[in-house]
Amino acid sequence: MNAETTSAPRSRPSVLRRMLSAAGAIAVATFLALLGTGTSYALWNGEAVVDASRVSSGNVGLTINGAAAYSLTSLDAKKLAPGRSQVAPLAIANTGTTRLSVTVSGTEVLAQSNSLASFVTASLVAAADCAVATFVPAPLGGFTTTAAPVVLEPGETRQFCLAISLATAAPSSVQGGSATFAMTINAVQVR
Amino acid sequence: MIRHRTAIAIGTAAFIVLAGTGVGNAFWSTQASMSGTANAGTIGVATAGFPALSINYTATALAVSAPVTVTNSGTVWAPFSLTLGVTAATPLANGSVVKTWPVAAATACTPTTIAPPSATTSSWVDVPALTGTLEPGASATYCVRSSITALQQSTIAGTNLSAALSVTSSVGNWIASATSSAAQAVLDSTSPSTPGAPVASATTATGTSLAWTASTDNVAVTGYDLYRDGVRLVTVAGTAFTDSGLTAATTYRYTIVARDAAGNVSAVSTGTNVVTSSAPVLFDPALWYSVGVGGSVGTASGVCIESGPNPVNGDVLTVATCGGSTKSGWKVVAVGGYYTVVSRRAPTLVWDITGASLAENAPAQLSSSTGATSQQWQVTQTSPGIYQFVNRNSGKCLAAPTSGALRQQTCGSASALPFIMTPVS
């Protein structure tokens, strides 16, 4: 009598055990992968269904003297003369929950008269006292930050000084002229 | 086999996770902006008060004080430099004293204000510059005093100066300036000395030459007034004058007064009496003369001055062919240094210029004798027997045109010919 050798059918408990084992492996891998993505987890996970009590999304915010769009009315009070500057103290605040790197990304001359803008320079430096700040003037049109960006911690407010100057060589023809400008401050998240 | 599936599941899960974090790895960013207007100011400067330093110095006005104000009329603060000077260095500019000092207000600068020790002192040719800085709309006021001494009022009398103020304000290439001016003079109040008495010479029946010793003056004598019988006759620059138009055998009294440019006059000089000589006897008053019109000089033309047969007042004087008629008879009578010409036909009528006119070509006529100067003639003998008649009133010569009435013309004109005087029986 030959005994027929047949494969014994797999028992049901064994298959289930293997499936659970695979699922566990996937879960571990997913956990490890998310662990490595750090803060981006929040953004990515913003639409995920997670426990809000433990994981919340961050935010970014930036203000100048308390406003997202600040009007430099103090410049209107005094008039520029060759070699002279008007200085405005600015409090730039990181109102978000993320570290921000702050720079001036661009300046646009919106309107002018007497060709004044060609002889106006701007300088923005971080300084607590504008009276002793060292300015590095550059042409107003297209003015951007050339120095290393300033990093603001979440909730931090830093004092800056903006100097608007008229070149010493400004001709007499620019007398009485004006130049309206808009300066954009850009803040980028840093880790 | 099972192990492979597990590995694939792990890898797939990791891929999905990592793929999902691709967007999340981009940095968050935000912006804020600020806007403003840079305004260029203007530069400007103005001055006031300087013209008030104009003065004519006199013995009783030896100084002048005036507040001079500099104002920043621009919209930016700016330094200024105020300079005072003169356009030319005159004795007055060099000799005067100028003091300047700042005052709080114009009212603090009066003629009686005492200059502080800190006041600058100079003449008009070297006044130190006044400098300062003014906010827009602000002013600085200086008291400026200019003076001379009583002695200078005499020694530099007649001199003057043109004072000039210049104020400049600048910032870089922006420059503003303002100017002003004032005029000062030292009036001459000193009179010239009394000139010498006039001395007469070459006196004739109708004229005399006068000369006198010059006056002196602290500045200069500009002229002499010559008086004849108390009436100013003429003003001359020199010290001599020839008077004419006098009446023969008459006494005239001459005096001289010197004057300068400021109008100061001297005392009246000692007077001098001049007596003109008697008129020369050119014509015999007992004779009647025909008056022939000269052709070329000294050559009779054959026509004579003639009246009508029954002349009356107002008849024009005409010419006719000389014919010995009593119509062409005239008597020349001396009156002072002049003569009247009387008609033989009507002895009450004399030569005259119609209406005592002074005009060229005014006609001559016969008029009733009144003694008027238009009826008097200066008769000059140009050559033996040849005479020229000059009307005393108009100074013009009697002329005989080729036709028409006699008339007066400027002496020397073509028709102003001499006349030939010939006694007639």
Q: A18 or B272, which is more confident?
A: B272
Residue type, B354: T
Question: What residues have CB less than 8 Å from B76, skipping those under 6 apart?
Answer: A79, A80, A81, A84, B41, B42, B43, B136, B171
Residues of chain A neighbouring B77 (CB-CB closer than 8 A):
81
Q: Which of residues 72-111 of A touch B (CB under 8 A)?
A: 72-76, 78-84, 86, 88, 90, 92, 96, 98, 100, 105, 110
Residue A92 contacts residue A102 (beta carbons within 8 Å)? yes
Query: Does B136 have pLDDT greater than 50?
Result: yes
List chain A residues with CB under 8 Å of B16: 30
Average pLDDT over residues A65-83: 91
Instruction: Note whether A171 contacts B: Cβ–Cβ < 8 A.
Output: yes
Distance CA A52, CA B297 (A): 147
Average pLDDT, chain B: 89
Q: What is the pLDDT of residue A27?
A: 54
Please check whether residue A33 touches B, CB under 8 A.
yes
Handedness of CA A103, A108, A110, A116 (dihedral sign): positive
Q: Please, which residues 120-159 of chain A have a Cβ atom closer than 8 Å to chain B? A: 120, 140
Residue B224 CB-half CA count within 13 A: 27
Could you please report the per-residue DSSP string of A2-52?
A: PPPP-PPPPPHHHHHHHHHHHHHHHHHHHHHHHHHTTTHHHHHGGGS---T
Percent of chain A with pLDDT over 70: 70
| B305 strand-pairing partners | B319
Smallest CA–CA distance from B35 into chain A, residue: A182
Rounded distance, CA B60 to CA B238, Å?
Answer: 33
Asked whether the beta carbons of residue A168 and residue B172 sit closer than 8 angstroms, the reply is yes
User: pLDDT tens across A109-140, in order?
Assistant: 999 999 999 999 999 999 999 999 999 999 99
B403 Cβ under 8 Å from any chain A Cβ: no
Are residues B38 and A120, on separate chains, in Cβ contact within 8 Å?
yes
In this predicted structure, what is the pLDDT of residue B231? 96
pLDDT above 50: residue A43: no
Most confident of A135-149, B293-307, B315-329: A135-149
Higher pLDDT, A96 or B245: A96
Q: Is B8 at the interface with chain A, CB within 8 A? A: no
B374 in Cβ contact with B393 (< 8 Å): yes
Least Cα separation, residue A144 to chain B (angstroms): 13
Q: Which tens digit of pLDDT belongs to each residue from B28-59?
A: 899 999 999 999 999 999 999 999 999 999 98
- What percent of chain B has a predicted confidence (pLDDT) above 70? 90
Chain A's closest residue to B75, CA to CA, is A79
Read off the pTM. 0.59
Check pLDDT > 80 for residue B14. Answer: no
The closest CB to that of A71, out of B20, B29, B36, belongs to B36
Which residues in chain A have Cβ-Cβ distances shorter than 8 Å to B30? 60-62, 96, 100, 187
Cβ of A61 within 8 Å of Cβ of B6? The answer is no
What per-residue confidence (pLDDT) applies to B8?
Answer: 66
Q: Which amino acid is at A65?
A: N
- What are the backbone angles phi and psi of residue B6, rounded to the nearest 5°? -60, -45
More confident residue, B156 or A3: B156
Given a cut of 60, whether residue A31 has pLDDT beyond it is no
CB of B168 within 8 A of CB of B94?
no
DSSP 3-state of A155: coil
What average pLDDT does range A89-114 have in this prediction?
Answer: 95
Q: Nearest C-alpha of chain A: how many angstroms from B112?
A: 42
Q: Does A185 touch chain B (CB under 8 A)?
A: yes
What's the confidence (pLDDT) of residue A56? 64
Angle at B400 between CA B396 and CA B403, to 5 degrees: 135
Our CA-based measurement puts residue A3 at a distance from the nearest CA of chain B, in whole angstroms, of 29
**Closest alpha carbon within chain B to A46:** B24
Determine the pLDDT at residue B149. Answer: 95
* Residues B32, A62: C-beta atoms closer than 8 Å: yes
The partner residue sitting opposite A116, judged by closest CB among B21, B27, B40, is B40
pLDDT at A50 over 60: no
pLDDT, tens digit (0-9, with 9 covering 90-100), for B203-230: 988 899 999 999 999 889 999 999 999 9
Quickly state the pLDDT bin for B300 (edges 50, 70, 90): low
Judged against a pLDDT cut of 90, whether residue B243 lies above it is answered with yes
pLDDT of residue B157 exceeding 70, the answer is yes
Contact indicator for B391, B408 with CB cutoff of 8 Å: yes
User: What pLDDT score does A41 carry?
Assistant: 42
| Bridge partners of residue B235, in order along the sequence | B225
CA distance A156 to B51: 64
Residue in A with minimal Cα distance to B174: A172
* Parallel/antiparallel/unpaired status of strands B55-57 and B174-186: parallel
d(CA A84, CA B76): 10
Which of A85, A172, A180 is most worth mutating to test chain B (most B CB atoms within 10 A of its CB)? A172
pLDDT at B7: 60
Residue B99's pLDDT band (cuts 50, 70, 90):
very high
- Most A CBs within 10 A among B2, B3, B4, B35, hence the mutation to make, goes to B35
Residue with tokens 């004419």: B244
Check residue B225 and give its pLDDT: 97
Cβ pair B252, B209 in contact under 8 A: no
Cβ contact B30–A92 (<8 Å): no
Residue from B224, B280, B236, B233 nearest B252 by CA: B233
Contact B151, B144 (CB under 8 A): no
The residue of A21, A114, A175 whose CB has the most chain B CBs within 10 angstroms, and thus the best one to mutate to test that interface, is: A175
Q: Do A82 and B174 touch (CB under 8 A)?
A: yes
What's the complex ipTM? 0.72
Are A179 and B42 inside 8 Å of each other by CB? no
What is the C-alpha separation between A165 and A86, in angstroms, rounded? 6
Q: Does A29 touch chain B (CB under 8 A)?
A: yes
Minimal CA separation from B166 to chain A, in Å: 20
The answer, yes or no, to whether residue A13 has pLDDT greater than 80, is no
Q: What's the confidence (pLDDT) of residue B27?
A: 75
Contacts of B41 in chain A (CB under 8 A): 78-81, 175-176
Size of interface A-B (CB pairs under 8 A): 203
pLDDT over 70 (residue B297): no
Q: Check pLDDT > 70 for residue B415.
A: no
Inform me whether the pLDDT recorded for B342 exceeds 60: yes
Beta-carbon separation of B172 and A180 below 8 A: no
B33 in A contact zone (CB under 8 Å): yes
How far off is chain B from A136, nearest CA to CA, in Å?
18
User: Does the CB of B25 have a partner CB in chain A at under 8 Å?
Assistant: yes
d(CA A77, CA A93): 25
Q: What pLDDT, on a 0 to 100 scale, did the predictor assign at position B277?
A: 82
Asked if A168 and B40 come within 8 Å (Cβ–Cβ), the reply is no
